Amino acid sequence: MFLKFRLIQTTIVLIGPMVGSCFASPFIETDEMRLRHAIDVLSSRGLINMPTNTYPLNWGEVKKQLDSIELKEPAGVVRAAMHTLKSRFHYEQQHHFQKGFLLQSGDRGYHFQGFGPRKSVKQSLTAFTEYTWENFSGRLSVTWNNGDELPNHKRTFDGSFLAMNSGNWILSVDQMSRWWGPGNDSALLLSNNARPLPVVSITRRENLPFESSFLRWVGSWRLTTFLGRAENSGFVPNTLVWGMRFGFRPIPSLEIGLNRIAQWGGDDRSQNMSTFTKVLLGQDNDGGEQPGNQLASMDVVFHGYPWFEIPISAYIELAGEDESGFAPSKKFFLYGLNYTPNWLNSSVTKFFIEASDTVASQYDVAYEHHIFKSGYRRYGRALGSTYDSDSQSVVFGMNQSLESDLTYWAKLRWIKLNQGSGDRDHHGITKLPVDSKGIELGLEYPVFNGLLHMNLSYQTEEINPIDSRFLYFLKYEYHF
């Protein structure tokens, strides 16, 4: 079923010279914090009326929504958000062939992720090249790592993809980070916390409503599904991972997402069509061999502006194990508030407060499984919450993007980690319980025709005995 991912990279290189008419880079990715906050400003005011909490997000559909906005005198924050998105789209449209490099360096220690650039190994160098055509796009990204986080993966291909438009669908073979849900600091089912999986995916391109009058109430909707392989990163080597998200927006003030993830197959385990059918139908407890480990979640966002002209959005994500009736049990939660004020006219500004709890009714449940004993993780890091299982967090954050292209942010964290058994080697962060407070500061700014990313963080308690309380992370990206 699956080709080695080296074939993906080879395919990208082979078809790269076939450049056709220029369109735009097809995706807004999970490291584009500046763009996401601009989208949130417009979405919270009902000016973008499409599902926006599924990343990578389709650039073409965002541009179509921007072109449909008709405001004689938009508020300053709306004007700034539109300028941010349109100027970036114009750049992508003018640069159908891109190449460059990325350097990053950071302290040894656990870096909490959140939506934005991934902070991973101690030092790395990435070289990339990307082509975009009218219906095809591909990127080859090769990273050389220097650090002990990935001792057997000194060279990785994270961020590579090959995508093709087919009717109203985008077909892709990729190794890109995904983020499902409205969370700013974390996501329960799928986030950028772990290294991305190599997958084959299908995503709806235009979020048009159903033509049927019976289903038109659903509004604009987006469906994405993927099938990937976790390679040798767990207790069961080459575990397969299937995921699906259905996002829809019945009214401008409401967005809903329905998500499912399943680990199944792997070496010495059944991975035929019959087994996959049981996974699709949630038939995990039929008395025979359990086909997989299933998780499901639902997220809801309510935007207050269309009703009360107050730029506040409330969101919640509810996750749990997916049993035969499709309903999650042993639930864990994430919820928060976004505030995008009008009074800072020349910038895109967002304040948020977000809380999460991955103690799923009892300890040692969330992200754990008796067959896949490494749990719902990849190379030790949870594919979902940045805080892993049996943890609670409260985070207050702000992000501001100025017209000068300077973006800066701050986060205050109150966290309790690994509150369960207290000595689980496979927990992605720490083997012992930790109760800590912390602060994170960061900025992005154009330097020497490139983009500099700086991040500083401090925790009142060591996350691990060998880690420092003070951590730094630097990244510099340059396009030729």
| Model confidence pLDDT, tens digit, residues 33-56 | 999 999 999 999 989 999 999 999
Residue 271 contacts residue 292 (beta carbons within 8 Å): no
Q: Which domain holds residue 163?
A: 5-479
- Helices vs. strands in the chain: H and E counts, helices first: 6, 25
- Closest Cα to residue 201, out of 251, 166, 149, 235? 166
Q: What is the identity of the amino acid at 65?
A: Q
235 CB burial (10 A radius; 0-12, 13-18, 19+): middle
Q: How far apart are CA 278 and CA 291, in angstroms?
A: 7
Q: What is the pTM of this model?
A: 0.89
What is the total count of domains within the chain? 1
Cis bond upstream, residue 237 (ω within 30) = no
Residue 8 contacts residue 173 (beta carbons within 8 Å): yes
Structure tokens at 284: 């995990």
Q: How far apart are CA 267 and CA 9, in angstroms?
A: 24
pLDDT value of residue 24: 47
Token pair 């990208």 in the structure block, residue: 12
- Please report, for residues 280, 336, 402, the alpha-carbon distance to residue 187 in angstroms, rounded to integers and kept in the order given: 22, 12, 27
Strands 450-459 and 470-479: antiparallel
**Residues lower than pLDDT 50 in the chain:** 1-24, 287, 324
Q: How far apart are CA 55 and CA 53, in angstroms?
A: 6
| Model confidence pLDDT, tens digit, residues 90-146 | 888 887 888 999 999 887 666 788 998 887 767 889 999 999 887 899 999 999 988
Q: How far apart are CA 204 and CA 188, in angstroms?
A: 23
Q: How far apart are CA 83 and CA 80, in angstroms?
A: 5
Residue 235 contacts residue 215 (beta carbons within 8 Å): no
234: domain CATH number is 2.40.160.130
pLDDT value of residue 234: 60
